[in-house]
Amino acid sequence: MSDSQKLHEVAITAIIRNGDGQYLIVRRSAEKKRFPKMWTVPGGRLETKDYTSLKKDTKDYWYNVLERTLTREIDEEVGLKVTHVEYLTSLATVHADGAPSLVISCVADYESGDVRLQEGETDDFAWVSSEEAKDYDLIDGIMDELMMADKHFAGSKAEWARA
């Protein structure tokens, strides 16, 4: 196996639920190389500086790296603070440019802040129920993740399946 087959772009996203039980979705800007003008949930890529700039938690390791990355990305992309981050599912792809990508999808509760969109990343947002989300041009798979989030917040465990 070549080194390029071992290297993946790692991203983490959050389905953020507010106090009214609605989810935050954002529209990717037209300038984005992947999925321009499509609706999705906030998140972003893991960068080595997300942990290498910090003191290690043990002799050899940094812990809570994904959670820290997600918190940073949500703050940068939409200006919100979240709490109760929990794993929901994972997905992988090889993009048209040949870059393999692994995405960890989480759910989180809105904690504070007003939505403030990061220029060049997103250009619109909406707080929606999973039913209302059907009216948006979502990236394929996001609707299924919203349905999983509904089950998660209702106290059920669900694996990803086409809704």
Q: What is the pTM of this model?
A: 0.90
Look at residue 3 and tell me whether its pLDDT is greater than 80: no
At 1, the pLDDT band (50, 70, 90 cuts) reads very low
**Residue-range domain boundaries for the chain:** 3-153
Q: Which CATH superfamily is domain 3-153 in?
A: Nucleoside Triphosphate Pyrophosphohydrolase (3.90.79.10)
Show the 3-state SS of the chain: CCHHHHCCEEEEEEEEECCCCCEEEEEECCCCCCCCCCEECCEEECCCHHHHCCCCCCCCCCCCHHHHHHHHHHHHHHCCEEEEEEEEEEEEEECCCCCEEEEEEEEEEEEECCCCCCCCCEEEEEEECHHHHCCCCECCCHHHHHHHHHHHHCCCCCCCCCC
Among 42-56, 108-122, 140-154, the minimum mean pLDDT is found in: 42-56
Look at residue 135 and tell me whether its pLDDT is greater than 50: yes
